[in-house]
Amino acid sequence: MKVKSVDIARKLNLSKATVSLALNNRPGVSEKTKEKVQKCLIEMGGAETGRPAVKQMIKIIIINNHLGLIQNSELDLWTDVFSVFDREIRRLGYSLGLTYVGQDQREVQQVIKEANEENVAGVILDATEMRPEEIEPFRGIKKPMVIYDNDLSEEYHCIAVDGVTAIRNVVDLLVARGCRDIKYLANKVDIYNFRQRRAGYRAGLRKNRLELREDSIYPIGERIEDIYENMKHYLDHHRLPDAFIMENYQVSMGVMRAFRERKIAVPQEVSLVGVDELPDYLTGDFLLTTVRVEHAERARAVMMFLEQEMKGALSAKFKIYSNCDLIPGNSVR
């Protein structure tokens, strides 16, 4: 049964706009309201006619350190992932529980307690924003658990991205096109995925016998507006290299905005490669060559391993790294 926003709004006595914001994980709605709306959606659209009531749930715990990557992000990368989790959890006959938690240790302990309750069959830990040291209390979860978007432990299955190979391949491409002075514009946020991409950049330089200088990796900012302003400042004080590699979509959007304002021609004056695909209307006069990160496919892998873990069918733990496709545009000379 398809559940409409207006039905949820009527049941929860909320406005349709509030429900829409909550369902699409947009800013302007509290975490409590988002969880309430998601719970209502699951309850209203959960069991199909003739199926027994769902008694157990799979709980998704999302680490939210307020880095702007999980929530309030300019590109909605989470929706496709959530759709896969929702569909696969329903297919297995479970309900879905969704919880956001930050660094407050009282909240963390409460989340762990809830994850160990009898009605929880398994746990997905979305660790995109998680620091390595923050995994420790979550070892207290005694239910089958799979870690999504990070490599944190030998004790759990971890599904992540092979960012090292992806960016090393980008360096290879740029060198093959004649680029020798290749700069890496980094997000100031320090997370696993970004560290892997930086490692891939350094590996690419070594492989191609290019010098890694102190300013080769340049932290350009966190938010698009900051990146835009910082990039203009960079352009005022530095000459253009042969190419820039942009660490994530926020960097790409801020840099390209600065380039448009300064009327810098791509790829005639400088080549650009980004990570995460952007809609065409955001790239301007050129099609950005990008590294495609398969977010939804990794979610499917998480569900495959969690299903087997709940069955007790696996005696070893696995680390799975998805490959990344390089999608050609016309931003590399």
pLDDT of residue 45: 64
Q: Would the pLDDT of 64 be above 60? A: yes
Q: How confident is the model at residue 232 (pLDDT cuts 50, 70, 90)?
A: very high
Q: Which CATH class is domain 5-161+295-322?
A: alpha beta
pLDDT of residue 4: 72
Q: How confident is the model at residue 180 (pLDDT cuts 50, 70, 90)?
A: very high
Q: Would the pLDDT of 181 be above 60? A: yes
159 neighbors 322 (Cβ within 8 angstroms): yes
Q: Give the range with max mean pLDDT: 20-24, 91-95, 121-125.
A: 121-125
pLDDT of residue 26: 61
Q: Can you tell me the distance from the alpha carbon of 193 to that of 247, in angstroms, rounded to the nearest whole number?
A: 10
pLDDT above 70 as % of the chain: 90
pTM over 0.85: no
Looking at residue 321, what DSSP letter applies?
E
pLDDT of residue 80: 82
Q: Would the pLDDT of 54 be above 50? A: no
Surface-to-core class of residue 156, CB atoms within 10 Å of its CB (0-12 exposed, 13-18 middle, 19+ buried): buried
Q: Would the pLDDT of 49 be above 90? A: no
Average pLDDT over all residues of the chain: 89
Side by side, the strands of the sheet bearing 325-327 are 217-221, 182-187, 243-246, 271-275, 289-292, 325-327
- Mean pLDDT of the region 185-211: 97
pLDDT of residue 105: 92
Q: Which CATH number fits domain 163-293: 1.10.10.10, 3.40.50.1370, 3.40.50.2300, 3.30.70.1520?
A: 3.40.50.2300
Structural domain spans, the chain: 5-161+295-322, 163-293
Percent helix, percent strand, percent coil in the chain, to nearest 5: 45, 20, 40
pLDDT of residue 33: 83
Helix, strand, or coil here: 29? Answer: coil
pLDDT of residue 9: 80
pLDDT of residue 156: 95
Q: How confident is the model at residue 320 (pLDDT cuts 50, 70, 90)?
A: very high
Higher pLDDT, 12 or 208: 208
Q: What is the pLDDT of residues 246-279, one digit of tens each?
A: 999 999 999 999 999 999 999 999 999 999 988 7
pLDDT of residue 74: 52
Q: Would the pLDDT of 5 be above 90? A: no
Surface-to-core class of residue 167, CB atoms within 10 Å of its CB (0-12 exposed, 13-18 middle, 19+ buried): buried
Concatenated DSSP letters of 79-135:
HHHHHHHHHHHHHTT-EEEEEEE-S-HHHHHHHHHHHTSTTEEEEEEE-TT--GGGG
Q: Would the pLDDT of 51 be above 50? A: no
Q: Would the pLDDT of 283 be above 80? A: no
Indicate if 163-293 has the same CATH topology as 5-161+295-322: yes
